[in-house]
Amino acid sequence: MKDNPYIPIPVRLKRTEIESDDKTLRTLDFTLCDENQAFDFMPGQFCQLSILGKGEAPFGIASSPSEKGFLRFTVNRVGGVTTALHYLKEGAVIGMRGPLGNYYPVEKFKGQNLVIIGGGFAFTTLRSLVLYIFANRKHFNDITIIYGARRPGLLLYQNELTEWEKRDDIKLFLTIDEKVPGWDKKVGFVPVVIGEVAPKPKDTWAVVCGPPIMIKFTLLRLFELGFSAERIYTSLERRMKCGIGKCGRCNIGSKYVCVDGPVFSLAELQKLPEQY
């Protein structure tokens, strides 16, 4: 049974930390139990994390290929597997399958400008992308990051965001929905901030991840600014089981989110039925 795609490899929990102030989000760093095992991936790909006896669930890889020695996932506690992941103790060994799916087309982005737009906890694979770009900074031109959450405590990776703000080779805009004391950054929904920042569409690609309602109005705003559907990328989520295009549930039209995605250009999505 060599090369059986259903058998997870063992990974060990190296670090676990609450990520949001409402405690629903937790960041977990894993190391491969077999240190000699190669694990090559690209920003945007995902893994199936697997707790024996509970089951599997898919999560985008939040660490970057440029970060060595661990794989990071940020998990929203909603069901059986995610709750079990939240209760894992450091040192625990679980299963992992991956990397699965396609990735952000970083080759296309090279020599170009990039606008990275995130909302809420959909910033995981965007963190991977941002750190990949930082590690290969000279290959990319202007980088603009717009990231919003309902309130400050729901922004992911806050320590890193603070570090990023100090960089002079990116433009970072953080925003929250409503003003709170002590917040000196932007206030307003992500699409509104995009309008204020007004990134120029020339030689620029946009990557958008967030809740559907944010995506909807973000796209309208990007179109107004002159971005074409070919130059806007997003990453989709669907209920998944196999992760390898066979179990039949994550399709949108003829495309399977698990193998043809999760990263799609808006032009590709426009050819597919809107839901289903």
Partner 1 sequence: MQYKIEKNDISTLIDILASVYDLFGPVKTDGLTKLARIKSASNLDLESFNTDESAKDIFFPQYETIFNFKDGEIKNEFDKNRPIAIFGIRPCDAKSFLILNKAFNNGGVNDSYWNQRYTDAMIFAIGCNRPSQTCFCNWVNQGPFNKEGTDIFLIDLGDDFMVESCSSKGDDFLKNVSKITLQNPNPGDLDKVNQIKREAEILMSEKLDLAPLKSILDTQLLDSPLWNEISAKCLSCACCTYLCPTCHCFDIQDEKKPGTNQGSRVRMWDSCMFSLFTQEASGHNPRPTIASRMRQRIMHKFNYFVENFGEIACVGCGRCVRTCPVNLDIRGIIKRIKNEG
Which stretches within 170-243 are classed as H helix?
Answer: 190-197, 212-225
Q: Which residues contact 215 (CB under 8 A, 6 or more apart)?
A: 119, 208, 234
Show the binding pattern over residues 201-240: x = contacts partner 1 (CB under 8 A), - = does not. Answer: ------------------------------------xxx-
Out of 129, 256, 263, 269, the residue judged to bind partner 1 by CB under 8 A:
256
- Cβ nearer to partner 1, comparing 237 with 268: 237
Residue-wise DSSP of 66-90: TS-S-EEEEEE--SHHHHHHHTPPT
Contact status: 4 vs partner 1 (CB under 8 A): yes
| Interface stretch with partner 1, choices 3-11, 119-127, 149-157, 168-176 (CB under 8 A) | 3-11
Q: Which residue, among 103, 93, 35, has the nearest Cα to 69 in the 3D structure?
A: 35
Q: How far apart are CA 269 and CA 276, in angstroms?
A: 12
Out of 56, 61, 146, 227, the residue judged to bind partner 1 by CB under 8 A:
56
Out of 53, 91, 181, 182, the residue judged to bind partner 1 by CB under 8 A:
53
- Measure CA 254 to chain center: 24
User: Both tokens of residue 184?
Assistant: 């000196």
- Cβ nearer to partner 1, comparing 188 with 245: 245
Out of 31, 112, 136, 251, the residue judged to bind partner 1 by CB under 8 A:
251
- Whether a cis peptide bond, with omega within 30° of 0, leads into 262 is yes
- Cβ nearer to partner 1, comparing 204 with 234: 234
Q: Which residues contact 68 (CB under 8 A, 6 or more apart)?
A: none
- Cβ nearer to partner 1, comparing 182 with 248: 248
Contact status: 22 vs partner 1 (CB under 8 A): no
Residue-wise DSSP of 136-171: TGGG---EEEEEEESSGGG-SSHHHHHHHHT-SSSE
Out of 42, 206, 242, 269, the residue judged to bind partner 1 by CB under 8 A:
242
- Cβ nearer to partner 1, comparing 133 with 252: 252
Cα torsion angle, 134, 140, 144, 150, sign: negative
- Cβ nearer to partner 1, comparing 8 with 105: 8
User: Both tokens of residue 206?
Assistant: 């946009």
Contact status: 95 vs partner 1 (CB under 8 A): yes
Contact status: 5 vs partner 1 (CB under 8 A): yes
Out of 15, 17, 22, 78, the residue judged to bind partner 1 by CB under 8 A:
78
Contact status: 273 vs partner 1 (CB under 8 A): yes
Q: Are strands 204-209 and 113-119 parallel, antiparallel or unpaired?
A: parallel
| Interface stretch with partner 1, choices 2-10, 22-30, 110-118, 171-179 (CB under 8 A) | 2-10
Per the listing, tokens 């396609």 go with 102
Can you give the binding site for partner 1, defined by CB under 8 A? Answer: 1, 3-8, 52-56, 78-79, 82, 93, 95, 237-239, 241-242, 244-254, 256, 259, 273, 275-276
